[in-house]
Each structure stands twice: as C-alpha cells, then as structure tokens.
Structure 1
Amino acid sequence: MKNFFPKIFLIISSLILSYLLYRSEIVWNGLNRNYYYPYYIFSIIFFIFSIVSFFLNKKIKLYLGITSISFVTALYLFEFFYINFKKTKINPENISEYETKTGKKYDTRSKLQFYKDKKKNEEIFVTVNPVSFIQSGIKNKKIFKLSGISNSKTINCNENGYYSIYLSDRYGFNNPDEMWDSKEIEYMVVGDSFTQGQCVNRPHDIPSVLRSLSKGAVLNLGYGGNGPLIEYAVLREYIEPNVKNILWIYYENDLKDLKKEIKSPILSKYLENLSFSQNLKDKQDLIDEINKNIISHYFSYSFHIINFIKLYNTRETIRYYLSNKKKINLSEKIKNNYDDTNFKLFEKILLNSKDLAKKNNSNFYFIYLPNSRHVYNYRMGKMNTEYLTIKKIIKKLSINSIYLEDELSNIIDDPMKLIPFKNSGHYTVSGYKIISELIYKKIKESN
C-alpha cells in the first residue's frame, strides 16, 4: 500500500496530540500544563515528522517503518516486564532494621495489594487526596471535595514498615469523631500530609500529640497534597465557632501547589467571594460517593489496561532518571516554583485566613515545618529565597508565627533521624512527637 507507514504515523500522531489536548485542557482544565509540556513538544515533532515522511523515498519509508515497529515493541515489552516482574524497591537494610527493632515483619506489599488483601475481610478504603479529584476523570465536578470517606477505616501509607490506618470522622478527616461534639476546641489544624499524619497511626500524628499534651479537643483537617488555597477552603467550610486556636501548618513544598489550585473555578471562588460556600458539611453523602468512584476508577482493571497502553511505567521511569540527572541551580528552582504571583496569592490567602480567625474569635498561628536539608542549611547560615520571602509576608501581616529550625538544630544532632530510615518521606513516630512538642511549647511561650 502506497504511503502505508506515513499514513499510520499521521493517524497516531494526530490521536496522541488530540488525547493530550483532551487530558490537559478538559480533564485537567489547564491546571497541569507544565506536566504535559514535554509531551506536547514530542507529539508536535512527531506530527511534523509524519507529514514530512510522505515526501521521503520508498526505501527510507520502509526503514523508518521497521525501526518504529521495533522501537514500539521494545517499549511495550519493557512495560510488560515492569508490571509483572518489578517489585517495589525497599532497601534490605531498612527491612532488617525494622524487623530487628520491632520483631515484626516488614510489609513489602504495594498499596494496591495491601488494599485488596484487607478488602477481602472487611470494609476498608484508601485516602483520596482532594487534588486527585482534578485528575480523576470523574464527571461529577459540581463540587470540589476537600476530605475523604466518612466514618470508615482508611489506609494511609507505608514508610515505616507498616501501613498506617485510621478510622475517619463524620467528614472524612483523621479524627476521633467525638471531637466535633466538643464544647470547646483547643486547636483546629490545617495542612497537608504532615498534618494529616502520614505514615503513622493515631495517636502519633501532630494533632493527636497536641490533643494529648493540651488535654483538650483538637481537630485535624489536614490532607495529603493540600496547598494553601485548599487549606483556606477547608477553613471556610469546616471552621467551628468554638475554636480557640487555628494552626496553619506549612511544609516546604506547599506553595508550588498554588498554581494548580488557583486555576480551579470552584477553588478560586473562595478568593473572589468571601461569602462563597459549597456547604460541604451537608454534602458528605455525595463526597463519599465521589471518593468511592475515584477509588474504583484507580483500582479498576480498565484503568490498568489504559495505563499499559499509555506506557505509564515506562514514561515514569524515563522521567525519574532524567530528573535525577538534571542539575538545576536551587535559585532557579525557587524562581520557577515560587514567582511573585504565587507569593501575592499566598499573602492574600493568609490575610483572609487571619481575618476569618479574627471574626471567629480564634487565635491564628502560622507554623513552618522544616525538612532535614532546611535544618542543615540553617546551621550553615544558608536560607533559601522562598523561606525568607514567606517570613517577610508573615511579618508584614503581623501573624503569630512559629519556626522550628533553631530548636531542632539544638536538640537533634542529625535531622535525618526525623524521617524513616534516614531516607526520605514524612516523619517517624518520634519525629512527629519532637515536632509536636516544639509546636506546643512555642504556642505556650507566646501566650
């Protein structure tokens, strides 16, 4: 057939480009263009190449066709073997250390396998981060849900050798449900995964430790992946009139999420209209339904087939190795992730949050959680631009602030001890305890 391979190239390149536009602009609503940018470049080059191939001589067309078939076959073989034979990489030393210390077996199962095994004997779910709602493909997007499934055993994550599980409250957060019935709430805490308590069991998360130290009611409104705008929306939807103190816990990667969040039509309404509300407390049944649909979607057979067709693991492997080889100056990273627009939005969000707390007769605290590298840099007198700019914003807004790097430098010889196996991730049980005690101490000192 004349021009067989050029026609195939043109059809495939057109389909890829159309699919990218659909994912980027319809499913993601333009929120994740940076992620799709290299794929756009590839697909456009491929599309141009497919047109040019019509004008090549017959012999070159044949060579290109055979080479392309061989290359694509190799990619799918890699994907097949990755799915069927690759196991989650766990350092054998970590396994040995955990089993020696605890006398328990290190759980090497993937989250999917753990979920499937637990689900055989009980009703159980997994955490569904609010940001995952954007990319889930679920059609019902009349609301932007901000919490998980209510009153349910919920699988969180495994970084310490075991999967953390908690029983969610009436609104899908990591709390004993009776906290919502308290006459007075000592602390209402908003934040991301570090606030939520990944990957430890209750009562080792920050709000639970504060609950123990204060002997009062504490509400944990943290959820993995949350950025500043989602956290502000959470406050607007779930604030209680009897809250004494609102704690805004900020971790070092939170600000980069703001670019995506502000492009959400629903989330942006919280900044545009101070009286806007989704009335999420009255829509928990719908939120539960949406979360369950997302879980079904991600754990469905069809989802994994689609991922295979899309060479998901192959692409992620390439992205991983490329990102590790890229040597980008730290100041460039900060410039890219934390531009002036982001800082201005962040300032507006914090000002609104402070005003909301004031109207509620609540004290408002901003708490900056450092990672281990930040503590090392602090000891050496090196602070990054993002940190310094945020401190200026907090000072400008006259917000009660808590920074922990000084105390951590004094009480911990090696900041890597805060995280599992001195590797990466969230805090250990002892790490959460140290951080929580410092927060509580600083709050008491400020009163």
Structure 2
Amino acid sequence: MAELATLKEYLSVLKPKVLLWVYCETNDLTDLIQERRSLLINYLDPLYTQGLVLKQREIDDALMSYTELMAFGGTATIRLAGLLRGLFQVDNYNGRVEELIKLSYVWKLLAGIFKPTPESSVEQVTPSVSPQDLDLFKQIVKSAKDTVYDWGGKMIFVYLPQFERYAETGQANPHYQTVLSIVSELKIPIVDIVPVFWRQPDPLDLFPFRQPAHYTPEGYDIVAQEIRRFLQMEMPLQSSPPL
C-alpha cells in the first residue's frame, strides 16, 4: 500500500506516461497484513490525499529529527564506523571512515564472514496470506491502474522472484499464479522475471553469496534489460480503459 500512497501523493503530480509497478514476491503480500491496519488503508479512497508534495519542508524536518534520534546524539557515520569496527574487528582504520564504509570494502569483509549455506537447507517460505489479503491486493492494484489511466498513462506490472524458488528445494511462492491471475484479470501488462532468471546458466549466482537477499548488480541488470525489451515491444503505448 505504500506504493499506492506514493503514486497518489507524488506521481499524480508528475503524471509519467509509463509506470512500472515492481512487485517482490518475498514480502509484498505479507506487508499488507500490517499495512491494512495503518493510515495507508485510506489511499483506497479515490479522493484521499495528505498533500505531501506541498509539505516537503515539514517532511525534511521530521526526517532530520528522526536521523538525529537514531544517532543518539552522534553522527550516523561515526556510529556506523563503530559498529563496523566491532563487527569486523577492524582496529587500524585511523579515522578513515569514508574508506571503512565504502560498499566494496564492506562486501569484501562480508564475504569472509558469511559462509554460503547449502541451498537445500533453505527453509520453505509460506507467507500467512488470507483471501482477504489477496482481495485487498486486487483493490490496490486496480486503484493504481485507474489512477494512472486517469492521467493518460499506462501501468506495467513487474514480478520479481525470490531466492527460494531457485534453491535446491525449489520452494516456489504459493501465491505466484494467483497474483499473476489477478493482474491479468485487471488487463495490466506483466513483465514476469521468474522465467527470465530460470534461463540463466545459474540463477543462484544472481543473489549475493548465493543467499536469500536482493539481487546482485548482474541480477538487476537482467531485470532492467527485460523491462527495456518489453517496453520496446509495447511502444507506442496505448492505455486500456479501467475495469
């Protein structure tokens, strides 16, 4: 629902011709269990808005206050450096915080700490999603599509797979077909990355250290190339009427 809120608060002002609704099967459905009990549920009302685009100064102030609170009186960078020193037992950083927190350096340290576990030991992911959650998902996606159509744009649904379906245990998300059926019923074009990853020599290489996580740069590049290919085939874009 956070995606729908972002769409209505900000993208309704920008009105892009094409909107990519990127869905991650790892947690996007299960997030609804919490989101349905939050302020975000109000965004199903076509007229609801907080006018956030006009409140950027207030938002910035709130974020700065939150950042200072999380830093407990010190800068976030210094606290992160202390955390890394303790985690990686790095004592000779000599105040070179910038080097210490470089992503490439952190990845190098992580590679030596986290040893890959056998793919066969990955536990099955069984999200506790109810029929009501699936119905809510359909309402959200339909509301998003209708909003985009109203400004003359087109919405494309991008399905991102999780690690578990490519592990040795082959635990596919149980809601995969249901989600695709809902989106198809709403007549929204779909870019399904699941078979795209299967076509790679070793799909697990698209995940850092062959572990459950976000994709590697190579994995994201494959996703981007597939979206680009799809858009090139779809152009010129024609908006379909709302259901």
The alignment's TM-score, normalised by the length of structure 2, stands at 0.69
Q: What secondary structure is seen at the aligned counterpart in 1 of 2:22?
A: strand
CA shift, 1:278, in A, is 0.8
- Pick one of 345, 366, 383 that aligns with 2:157: 366
**Equivalences for residues 46-85 of structure 1 within 5 A:** none
Give the Cα–Cα distance (whole angstroms) in 2 for the partners of residues 346 and 364 of structure 1: 16
| Residue 237 (structure 1) aligned with residue 9 (structure 2) | yes
Aligned residue in 2 for 1:421:
209
- 1:436 and 2:224 equivalent? yes
Shift of 1:373: 2.6
CA contact (8 A) 1:368 1:402 kept: yes
Give me the whole-angstrom Cα distance separating, in 1, the residues matched to 2:187 and 2:51: 30
Residues 242 and 392 (structure 1 numbering): CA distance in 2 closer, same or farther, change over 3 Å?
Answer: closer
- How many angstroms does 1:414 deviate by? 1.4
The answer to whether the Cα contact below 8 Å between 2:22 and 2:160 also exists between their aligned partners in 1 is yes
Within a 5 Å distance, the mapping from 1:50-199 to structure 2 comes to none
Work out whether 1:268 is the aligned partner of 2:57: no
How far apart are the structure 2 equivalents of 1:242 and 1:301? 40
Summarize deviations over 1:59-99 as a string: whole Å, max 9, x none: xxxxxxxxxxxxxxxxxxxxxxxxxxxxxxxxxxxxxxxxx
Matched length: 187
User: Percent identity over the alignment?
Assistant: 28
Would you say 1:352 and 2:143 are equivalent positions?
A: yes
Deviation at 1:241, TM superposition (A): 5.0
Give the alignment of 1:273-422 within 5 angstroms.
273-300=45-72, 330=124, 333-334=126-127, 336=128, 338-375=129-166, 383-410=172-199, 412-422=200-210
**Residue 402 of structure 1 aligns to a residue in which SS?**
strand
- CA distance in structure 2 between the aligned counterparts of 1:446 and 1:284, rounded to whole angstroms: 35
Output the CA distance in 2 between the equivalents of 1:387 and 1:368. Answer: 9
Q: Secondary structure at the match of 2:175?
A: helix
8 Å Cα contact 2:157-2:190 kept in structure 1: yes
Q: Would the aligned equivalents of 2:24 and 2:159 in 1 still touch at CA under 8 Å?
A: yes
Distance 2:183 2:168 in 1: 21
Pair 343,430 (structure 1): closer, same or farther in 2 beyond 3 Å: same
Equivalent-residue separation in structure 2 for 1:387 and 1:343 (angstroms) = 12
Q: Contact 1:237 / 1:280 at 8 angstroms: preserved in 2?
A: yes
Amino acid at match of 2:49: S
5+ long unaligned stretches in structure 2? 75-120, 236-243
Q: How far apart, CA to CA, are the structure 1 residues paired with 2:188 and 2:228?
A: 17
Distance 2:213 2:174 in 1: 23
Provide the C-alpha distance between the structure 1 equivalents of 2:172 and 2:42, rounded to a whole number of angstroms: 34
- State the AA in 2 paired with 1:403: D
| Greater RCO structure (CA 8 Å; 6+ sep) | 2
CA distance in 2, matches of 1:369, 1:231: 15
The AA in structure 1 aligned to 2:218 is S
| Counterpart amino acid of residue 434 in structure 1 | I
Distance 2:51 2:148 in 1: 19
TM superposition shift of 1:330: 4.4
Partners of 1:406 and 1:393 lie apart in 2 by: 19
Separation in 2, partners of 1:270, 1:341: 17
Deviation string, structure 1 residues 385-420 (Cα, Å, up to 9, x no partner)? 21111011112211111101222212x221121122
Cα offsets for 1:193-228 (capped at 9, x unmatched): xxxxxxxxxxxxxxxxxxxxxxxxxxxxxxxxxxxx
Aligned partners of 2:65 and 2:175: how far apart in 1? 37
Q: CA RMSD in A?
A: 2.6
Change (3 A) 1:259 1:427: same
Asked whether the 8 Å contact 1:246–1:362 carries over to 2, the reply is yes
Equivalent residue, structure 2, for 1:254: 28
CA distance in 1 between counterparts of 2:167 and 2:213 reads 17
Which structure would you say has the larger Rg?
1
Q: Which residue of 2 aligns with 1:175?
A: none
Secondary structure of the residue that 2:20 maps to in structure 1? strand
Q: Could you tell me how far apart the structure 1 residues matched to 2:55 and 2:73 are?
A: 29
Judging changes above 3 Å, is the alpha-carbon distance between structure 1 residues 355 and 377 closer, same or farther for their aligned structure 2 residues?
farther
